[in-house]
Amino acid sequence: MTDREKLDLFNKTVLNEAMVDSRRVTGQFEKAVETATKQAEAGVAAEVLKYETAKRAEITARERRRARSERNDRHHKLLEFREKCATETYNTVTEYLEEFTLTDRYPDYLVRILTDAAKRLPDNAQAEIFLRPEDMYLSARLQDKVPGINMSFGEGTFSLGGMQLSAPGLKLRIDMSFDSAMSDIIGHFSELSGMKPV
């Protein structure tokens, strides 16, 4: 083999080895690039997922707060409405009672409730009848209409109307005042609604 042939063979061998090394290095590089790309894509996907999860949680929390706030606002408005209704009803009933005590029917009503209460007492029982100060003028009429009871009259501490009967010797007290009836109604209303009219 001549020197030239030896040189050509040497060059060919070196070139072949270089080509093989080049292909091997290129393959390794492509694999490294592919691995790095996959890792980068996975990292980006993880960051996107993390961001989406955080944003979803943030939006969910914000919407829950908004819904809770709206629910609380509606509940507050409902309570205000119920309280307004309760107060208006109380005021209407109070106004009706005030008007009723100014009618001709009111003295007859007092006679009727006193007559009913007197049925619980024995003959000639001692009883003290309490009226509103403005109703004291009716005491003579009540005394005349309900015989058989020794009555004395005094001013009660109630203001809406009606009367109270007290028979200390019998340990009996009958409260027929409108104030007491309103108090019972308010108590019942408060039990049902959780509110107390003002």
Q: Is the pTM higher than 0.85?
A: no
Which long-range contacts does 81-90 make (Cβ < 8 Å, 24+ apart)? 82/193, 82/195, 83/195, 83/197, 83/198, 86/189, 86/193, 86/195, 86/196, 86/197, 87/197, 87/198, 89/197, 90/182, 90/186, 90/197, 90/198
pLDDT digits (tens, 9 = 90+) for 57-66: 888 888 888 8
| Residues paired with residue 177 on neighbouring β-strands, in sequence order | 162
pLDDT digits (tens, 9 = 90+) for 164-198: 999 998 899 999 999 998 888 777 666 666 655 55
Scanning the chain, the segments in alpha helix (DSSP H) are: 3-100, 105-118, 139-145, 178-193
